[in-house]
A and B are shown apart, each in its own frame.
Chain A
Amino acid sequence: MTNIDVNALANAKAKGERPYFFDDPAVERVLSITMAVAAEVAVLRERMDTIERLMESGTAVTKASIDAYKPDDNAARERQEWHAAYVARILRIIHQELQALEDESLNVSSKKLADAQADQ
């Protein structure tokens, strides 16, 4: 066996200065860690889905049967629909920021309304 540190090498930095887009690089770091965790939640969810489908079909649930599982067209579609809904939930705030940008009427401040009414 070649003695390589798989986890360190998988994480190797590519050559080139990494662009940081947020004003504070710490925000970028938190986003990156959050998305990595989000990916692992999706992995767990897909594994649960596989286990459920194996059990429904009466197949013994083993590590091997999980790795060998291939969704049929219907299961594949349902799983992709779940992924699409999941990504949409995670990135909800970005969707809403775009809506706020497109439609000014969505941005009336309740605080200002409250202050204005209280001061009358």
Chain B
Amino acid sequence: MSAILPPTYDRTGRHGLTPEVTHDDAARFNFLTNLNVYLGQRVFPGIKQAFEKRVKPKHLARTGVDFTSHRDIRDEMRADPYYQAWAALRVNTMEMRQQAGRHVVLRQYDAMTEKIRAANAGKNTLQLDDKVTVPEYLSQVDNHWMPGSYYGEIVPGDAGAVASYEVGLFVTTAGSMSAFGDGAGRAIVKFVKERFPNFQPKRILDLGGAFGINSLPLAAAFPDAELVVMDVGAPALRYGHARAQSMGYTNVQFVQANGEHTNFPAESFDWIQTTMTLHETSANAVVNILKECQRLLKPGGLMLHLEQPNFAPETPLWERFTRDWDAWYNNEPFWAKFHTMNVFDLMADAGFARDTHFDGRAKADIEAGRYQPWAGTLSRHSPEQKAAMSQQESARKGEGWYLFGATKST
């Protein structure tokens, strides 16, 4: 198998808020990207071998029965030296990405904060609300080892950690998410245009949209619509608003609110979107958010969620183990519970009639040829290569993103 090479960091897109990235910063990101690719393609597949050849036989010898829980697989894998090396490298690589991204942003902290302040000053398209509090499900641990998460501030009024999140995103996604990291947003647009070709939304809400990285493709695809990016975190909204302004978007608002109970009037949106948001909430919050979607949607409106598919009864224990890994070790704790929830029952309980439910897949639409000169190499995965990639990578590069949703009955 020939090596699958990611694009180099210099191919990423730049906007008015992009910090200065030196030659050596880019080289560091190139190293970390290639390390991530190697860990995903070459090291990760071996943990299944370690399980089959060592962990499972030991378990069978001791207990006489096969595994009945993927949490038992997790706990017994902890003793395997090969698995230890992969897991330790994976956590460490994420920490290195966060550190490198933070250093880029923090050393030009004043200039960036001033740029954000200038871009946002006097704009009514940024609506912050200091009465909005960060829910416990976001504040107990920092998602994916990002110090400060999406809502933390270093100095009051700043953009917090999200700028460094954007700088380092390339490392974790190996450039598979398009020049501006918005591959999921592009996939959503493609899905909606194909599935609902006559849909012409006037108001769109991206609930939990953080700094709008995957929201802006919606605003670009429907230029006559008004897009509201809503999040609990003021720093993400400050940064996102200034970023969108610098990219020339005039039809996007950034509003601070909690998606479980917003102040928007009932029936005020044609389309409500969440993108990789629900799995970072809680079991109660998901119920509340779906009820809020039901309240906020106009009759006939579209609710759409982009997530990893949840477990089916027949989902093998090994797959459950690998897919819950980020819940246990990448600080996304609700994901394990969310994997076991039935999204169709949740939507029905929130008032969405079952005959309006749907799901499907959408592939990220990246600019082959411009952004990835070797895009052809990247897209031609053999079945063995696909199997070797982590679940998330295969969702992004293989069969595409999973989407589910419903429409509000008229």
Q: What residues of chain A have their CB less than 8 Å away from a CB belonging to chain B?
A: 1-2, 4, 6-7, 9-16, 18-23, 28, 31-32, 35-36, 38-40, 42-43, 46-47, 50, 66-67, 69-71, 73, 76-77, 79-81, 83-84, 86-88, 91, 94-95, 97-98, 101-102
Contact = CB atoms under 8 A, between A and B. Distances in A.
- Decide if the interface of chain B is mainly helix, strand, loop or mixed: helix
Q: Which of A38, A40, A47, A94 has the most CB of B within 10 A?
A: A94
Given A80-B30, A101-B49, A18 B91 contact: yes
Nearest to B47: A98
A14 B146 contact: yes
B409 interface: no
B276 interface: no
Contact of A36 (B6, B30, B96, B139): B96
Nearest to B7: A76
Interface in B36-76: 37-38, 42-43, 46, 49-50, 53-54
A10 B32 contact: no
Given A16-B145, A84-B5, A84-B38, A43 B31 contact: yes
13 contacts: A2-B109, A2-B113, A4-B106, A6-B103, A9-B102, A16-B145, A21-B84, A23-B79, A36-B96, A39-B32, A94-B86, A95-B42, A98-B43
A98 B147 contact: no
Contact of B24 (A2, A38, A43, A84): A43
Contacts of A101: 46, 49-50, 53-54, 82
Contacts of A28: 88, 92
Contacts of B6: 80
A74 to B, nearest CB: 9
A10 B373 contact: no
B10 A70 contact: yes
A97 B43 CA distance: 10
Nearest to A50: B23
A16 B331 contact: yes
Contacts of A23: 79, 84
B107 A87 contact: no
A110 B10 CA distance: 49
Given A77-B5, A86-B31, A87-B34, 13 more contacts: A4-B154, A11-B99, A12-B148, A14-B147, A15-B142, A15-B147, A19-B329, A40-B28, A50-B23, A76-B8, A84-B5, A87-B38, A98-B43
Interface in B139-163: 139-142, 145-149, 154-155
A90 to B, nearest CB: 8
Nearest to B45: A98
Contacts of B142: 14-16
A21 B78 CA distance: 7
A10 B43 CA distance: 28
A42 B8 CA distance: 14
Interface of B: 3, 5-8, 10-11, 22-24, 27-28, 30-32, 34-35, 37-38, 42-43, 46, 49-50, 53-54, 78-79, 81-89, 91-93, 95-96, 98-99, 102-103, 106-107, 109-110, 113, 139-142, 145-149, 154-155, 328-329, 331, 373-374
B179 to A, nearest CB: 14
A89 to B, nearest CB: 11
A20 B91 CA distance: 9
Nearest to A5: B106
Nearest to A75: B8
Contact of B141 (A16, A70, A71, A84): A16
Nearest to A99: B46
A79 B109 contact: no
A43 B96 CA distance: 14
Given A67-B23, A84-B38, A97 B82 contact: yes
Contacts of A7: 103
Contacts of A76: 7-8, 10-11, 373
A66 B22 CA distance: 9
A50 B109 CA distance: 28
Contacts of A1: 110
Given A4-B109, A81-B3, A88 B31 contact: no
Contacts of B140: 15-16
Contacts of B86: 94
Contacts of B43: 91, 94, 98
